[in-house]
Amino acid sequence: MSPHTIAAVHVVVHHHPRHRAPPPRHCSGGGVCVVRASAATATTTSGASATAATDSPSAAFWDYNLLFRSQRAESPDPVALRVTEGAIPPDFPAGTYYLAGPGMFTDDHGSTVHPLDGHGYLRAFHFGGGGADGAAAAQYSARYVETAAKREEQGAGGTSWRFTHRGPFSVLQGGARVGNVKVMKNVANTSVLRWGGRVLCLWEGGEPYELDPRTLETLGPFDILGLGSGAGEAPARDSEAAARHRRRRPWVQEAGIDVAACLLRPVLSGVFSMPVRRLLAHYKIDHKRNRLLMVACNAEDMLLPRSNFTFYEFDAGFALVQKREFVLPDHLMIHDWAFTDNHYVLLGNRIKLDIPGSLLALTGTHPMIAALAVDPSRQSTPVYLLPRSPEAEAGGRDWSVPVEAPTQTWSMHVANAFEERDAGRGGGTSVRIHMSGCSYRWFHFHRMFGYDWHNKKLDPSFMNVAKGRELLPRLVQVSIDLDKRGACRGCSVRRLSDQWTRPADFPAINPAFANRRNRFIYAGAPSGSRKFLPYFPFDSVVKLDVSDGSARLWTAVGRKFVGEPVFVPTTGGREDDGYVLLVEYAVSDHRCHLVVLDARKIGERNAVVAKLEVPKHLTFPMGFHGFWADE
């Protein structure tokens, strides 16, 4: 039996009809409204029959794997995009949509890596601004991020690839495994940022790489934390909460952790080439203060029951204006986070050291990430509200003690967070966090995206597990009420919409409403129309109205999937005045389209205002996170 046949059988075994969500119905008022496509591509009976004919285990398997097919070609010279539907609207602003993600998964010597270890491939869609005739020009370019690992693994001449770095999530089949300490493979593939005239591609475990905003040429590593020369590093100021934490633990235990940290640091940095501080790929922008916020943690935190987080705030010229350091008594893994006017917010994902997995990882037969496992020992979720402002730190609360949210949720991505003064009940503050999260029972480090190093293919059954939709990523609101001294009066977790119960992730909002009360959230979601790919990849964008819980949906037609939505605001005064950009992947045609949706018309027939076709020879694999930069 071939590898793809085995994986297709897995899809059938894991799927059961009772777990399939029926497609949402059309509606004229509130509730869930769905549109399969714009009027030009609306679903017909024959189209539905054709979709059903291709909805098989084999088609599902290959459709999924085609989303992650390597693209070796680059387009350093911008190419014009053909508008295949509609027109670029006159009020569409001039700017560039940057999309980060992996581009290379398979080398020429038998190795296939996890998508998270694929070499960074930056895509750029440049708009000159909408014209009066709606026919403004749009151009596309794409280049690999020239990281040190990429230069080594591509080799001289750039004609062949040989993976030499294991990467944290992968197992090499055609390269050295046993004794291979090339683990920290900075691929700069996770997110992209344009700030202070610079374009940075970020990865979860190393320094960013800077690229030219126009040509996408890699300029080199950007030492944003000043760890190389010492420049830019303000003196570390341990918060009062961190000092209290050190007094809470028995001094013998705390001393033991200090000794372990001292022993681990030279091993991790000297042998495994890990940076002293691991910069997280997710950043935040405080539009009120025009600041860029970033966070880093210590390399040894991955292996110890203590977490060190350092928050940095930069002005528009990348000058460091604030640095705060916190030590938390938890073994945590943080991917995304939030902030408010007075707090940094960490939703803690509890992890633990997996000794058997560590031994397998050292043999090279399992990825290095197998050394870690989720820790479901508690049924709550720790939410750390760390003081960002002097006002927050002046309260009487011990900030090293988390608020325990009453449900166990693995935090994935944050849409927004804000706080508001509570005039009733003697004053206080209400903190709201809008985010996506999943069950600890579903999350699995080295199986994410269905990575199967034995068969060198991706198995879609893991991302479409049929144990229950409640395990999969979902959109929730975490509400925390604090009294005037900062003590927690209550914490609750609820779905953002009772009318939207299917999975969803990659939430986005109008960036002008970041850090203040927002009404609308846009997220990637499944329509449920694919029997053998019911949950992922996403084929829809759902627009949630937080004020009344209603949901409106736009869905692609047939064998097409979509990536993360990004909101592009216009000059209107309403929150949903603007457009939603997303890439549509037509795997059956092996083509990518950039879709422009009218944010106000999602759920209506004419939601699509334009589709722009990427030349077929430049079709790219699924991306991760993007950024819209106004000119």
Predicted confidence (pLDDT) per residue in 393-413, tens digit: 777 778 889 999 999 999 999
Cα–Cα separations (whole angstroms), residue 408 to 349, 372, 402, 438, 478: 9, 18, 14, 9, 12
- Pick 253 or 351 by higher pLDDT: 351
Is the per-residue pLDDT at 334 higher than 50?
A: yes
Give the mean pLDDT of the chain.
84
- 282 belongs to an annotated ligand binding site: no
| Residues in CB range of 504: below 8 A, 6 or more apart | 436, 473, 474, 475, 523, 524, 525, 538, 542
pLDDT of residue 230: 36
3-state SS assignment for residue 408: coil
Residue at 352 is within a domain: yes
Structure tokens at 615: 């030349």
Q: What length does the chain have? A: 631
pLDDT of residue 392: 80
Is the per-residue pLDDT at 467 higher than 80?
A: no
Q: Specify whether 475 is located in the same domain as 342.
A: yes
- 590 belongs to an annotated ligand binding site: no
pLDDT of residue 512: 93
Structure tokens at 595: 């879709």
pLDDT of residue 468: 65
Structure tokens at 196: 């202070």
pLDDT of residue 56: 87
Q: Specify whether 380 is located in the same domain as 430.
A: yes
Least confident of 127-131, 189-193, 413-417, 507-511: 127-131
pLDDT of residue 264: 58
- The helix/strand count (H/E) of the chain reads as 8, 39
Is the per-residue pLDDT at 72 higher than 80?
A: yes
Structure tokens at 381: 């979720």
Task: Report residue 265's pLDDT band, with 50, 70 and 90 as the boundaries.
Answer: low
Q: Give dist(CA 356, CA 291) in Å, integer.
A: 44
Q: Specify whether 521 is located in the same domain as 576.
A: yes
Task: Report residue 226's pLDDT band, with 50, 70 and 90 as the boundaries.
Answer: confident
Q: Specify whether 419 is located in the same domain as 506.
A: no
- 335 belongs to an annotated ligand binding site: yes
pLDDT of residue 278: 85
pLDDT of residue 38: 40
Residue at 115 is within a domain: no
Is the per-residue pLDDT at 73 higher than 90?
A: yes
Task: Report residue 275's pLDDT band, with 50, 70 and 90 as the boundaries.
Answer: confident
Least confident of 6-15, 73-82, 148-157, 326-335: 6-15
pLDDT of residue 262: 67
pLDDT of residue 425: 65
Cα–Cα separations (whole angstroms), residue 502 to 31, 114, 177, 392: 14, 26, 40, 37
Is the per-residue pLDDT at 513 higher than 80?
A: yes
Q: Specify whether 305 is located in the same domain as 415.
A: yes
Tell me how far the alpha carbon of residue 372 is from its chain's centroid.
20
Q: Specify whether 476 is located in the same domain as 346.
A: yes
Least confident of 98-102, 312-316, 393-397, 450-454: 393-397
Residue at 582 is within a domain: yes
Sign of CA dihedral 540, 545, 549, 550: negative
Task: Report residue 136's pLDDT band, with 50, 70 and 90 as the boundaries.
Answer: low
- CA nearest neighbour of 14 among 468, 514, 550: 468
pLDDT of residue 485: 82
Q: Give dist(CA 514, CA 288) in Å, integer.
A: 9
Task: Report residue 253's pLDDT band, with 50, 70 and 90 as the boundaries.
Answer: low
pTM of this prediction exceeds 0.75: yes
pLDDT of residue 456: 87
Is the per-residue pLDDT at 177 higher than 80?
A: no
- Pick 256 or 377 by higher pLDDT: 377
**Parallel, antiparallel or unpaired: strands 32-35 and 550-555:** parallel
pLDDT above 90 covers a percentage of the chain that reads 60
Residue at 456 is within a domain: no
Residue at 294 is within a domain: yes
pLDDT of residue 487: 86
Is the per-residue pLDDT at 390 higher than 60?
A: yes
Task: Report residue 7's pLDDT band, with 50, 70 and 90 as the boundaries.
Answer: very low
Residue at 528 is within a domain: yes
Phi then psi for residue 374, to 5 deg, are -70, 150
| Exposed e or buried b per residue across 381-416, where buried means at least 16 C-beta atoms within 10 angstroms of its C-beta | bbbbbbbbeeebbebebebbbbbebebbbbbbbbbb
Q: Specify whether 388 is located in the same domain as 526.
A: no
CB-facing half-sphere around the CA of 189: CA atoms within 13 A: 23
Residue at 280 is within a domain: yes
**Parallel, antiparallel or unpaired: strands 560-562 and 578-586:** antiparallel
Tell me how far the alpha carbon of residue 613 is from its chain's centroid.
25
Amino acid sitting at position 576: D
Least confident of 69-83, 84-98, 259-273: 259-273
- CA nearest neighbour of 257 among 330, 362, 334: 330
Least confident of 17-21, 85-89, 183-187: 17-21
Are residues 367 and 358 in contact, defined by beta-carbon separation less than 8 angstroms?
Answer: no
- Pick 235 or 624 by higher pLDDT: 624
Q: Per-residue pLDDT averaged across 10-17, rounded?
A: 37
- Pick 298 or 142 by higher pLDDT: 142
Is the per-residue pLDDT at 434 higher than 50?
A: yes
Q: Specify whether 365 is located in the same domain as 489.
A: yes
Q: Specify whether 488 is located in the same domain as 507.
A: no
Q: Specify whether 425 is located in the same domain as 291.
A: yes
Q: Specify whether 543 is located in the same domain as 411.
A: no
Reduced 3-state DSSP string for 528-557: CCCCCCCCCCCCEEEEEECCCCEEEEEECC
Q: Per-residue pLDDT averaged across 431-449, rounded?
A: 92
- Pick 262 or 69 by higher pLDDT: 69
Phi then psi for residue 97, to 5 deg, are -100, 115
Q: Specify whether 416 is located in the same domain as 309.
A: yes
Q: How many domains does the chain have?
A: 2
Least confident of 216-220, 223-227, 440-444, 480-484: 223-227
Q: Report helix, strand and coil shares of the chain as percent, to nearest 5.
A: 20, 35, 45
Residue at 288 is within a domain: yes
CA-based angle 57:582:135, to the nearest 5?
125
- The helix-helix angle for 57-66 and 3-14 (nearest 10°) equals 110
- CA nearest neighbour of 434 among 284, 544, 536: 544
Least confident of 45-59, 369-383, 576-590: 45-59
Is the per-residue pLDDT at 349 higher than 50?
A: yes
Are residues 366 and 360 in contact, defined by beta-carbon separation less than 8 angstroms?
Answer: yes
What domain range is 328 assigned to? 275-447+467-495
Q: Give dist(CA 565, CA 623) in Å, integer.
A: 11
pLDDT of residue 178: 74
Tell me: cis bond preceding 615? Omega within 30 of 0 counts: no
Q: Per-residue pLDDT averaged across 319-339, rounded?
A: 93
